[in-house]
Structure 1
Amino acid sequence: MTSPARPDSPAVPVRAATLASTGRWLAAGWRDFARNPGPGFVHGAALALFGALLFALAHDRFWLLAGAFSGFLLLAPILATGLYAISRGVERGERVDMRTALAAWRPRNRNLVVFGVLLAAAGTGWVLCSAALITLFADAPVRNPLDFVRVVVLSPDPTLFAAWLALGGTLAAPVFASTVVAIPLLLDRDVGLWRAVMTSWRVVVENPLPLALWAAILMLVTAAAIVAGVLGLLVVVPWLAHASWHAYRDLVDASQLPEAR
């Protein structure tokens, strides 16, 4: 009989995915949301209110607004932890509600807290870098979305926009690779932080095209929700969070790891 793997032992097995896998994850995530909409709407409403507050405070400083929304995308995986717990409970046939989601924020294992702090630091770093880049190198003040499009995106010299995209991608790509399955794995199993992050990286390295498509879907759907007036986050946040849980379950074989306490 095989004994459970220790939290600090090597490689957690990962599975292959296809481009079609992303559609399955989205469909499964929608089913979880439709069956338990309450916790999802609470999470979505909280993030929508945060977005509305952010816009109210920074609408005339678009360089800050753009960076902050990008930082929000970096932090989204940890903010969805409670919804991962909902999907896990549904999978196990348990009765789930908002208490299930809140309980996920009180783990004995503090790795999720540590990871959240690291992601917050990464998000803050991107906001500062984005603000500094636009403020220092834009040819004119950038105070609103139209200014950003006119001065940065449609500038005759595309260097600044290219640099802004490159800087964001340089930060976002490793954060995505580090979190795509690491956070649900930490919630689900007794596993060390480093091992969870390395498992997440292996998932991306071994499935580059499906995970690139998945990253694009997450980014584009979230951006569409924000453009729709932030209220789109009421639906998009829980839908993508539940779908991300199913991506983890499809991509990682954690059956030999002990369950998280």
Structure 2
Amino acid sequence: MAIQVRIIPAPQLSLRDPQDTELGRRILTHSIILLDELGLEAFTFKKLAVELGSAEASIYRYFNSKHQLLLYLVSWYWDWVHYLVKQSAVGKSSPEDRLQAAITSLTQPFVANPAVPYIDERLLHRIVINEGSKAYHTKDVDQENRKGLFLGYKSLCEEICAIILEIAPTFPYPRALATSLFEMAHNHPYFAEHLPRLTDIGRTSELSEELRTMLWFWVTNLLNTHSQPAPQID
């Protein structure tokens, strides 16, 4: 099924929305390729300019730093996953079915969007797994939060939180559970590839399905047992 949707991150995430110009769209395309290839530390606007065949100064018309560029891409990803989560719930009457569909979307956000050919969702998903936390684990996180730069992430987690509360209205930690599901969906593929002793899923062609099964097992058991009293600590 073709998905026709355009993601528009908050205007504060760029000096000029790169999706509005041919050069800007090329910046997004090649920055995703380079970030995936080099990692954030080795990535520079100078290297990006070489790939573009353009002056480095032209990139600074869109982004003031590689951190801002990374935050733009990660925010685009958050909004994309939020869209997939909402679409997956269409036609599903029970909150359990909607939560299961949402978890599937969290574990398979690399669905291609033909309406945005300049974004490679598969590579962007890998960038978020490997580099995504660097967008908000920074010294400036509070200042950036006040500017509303993380609203995409918050909206996504609120969407999942609402489904959790439909299933278990008295569950005391719905936001923590929603964010944990999202973070686990990215941490465990990373662990499977680089730190396998930190996860129970393997680096196989069925990783997404293993991840979906693990998240569903984890969330359903937690919601089913939350009413039991906490054990006493001696």
Structure 1 length normalisation: TM-score? Answer: 0.28
Report which of the two has the higher share of helix: 1
Higher relative contact order (CA 8 A, sep 6+): 1
Structure 2 length normalisation: TM-score? Answer: 0.31
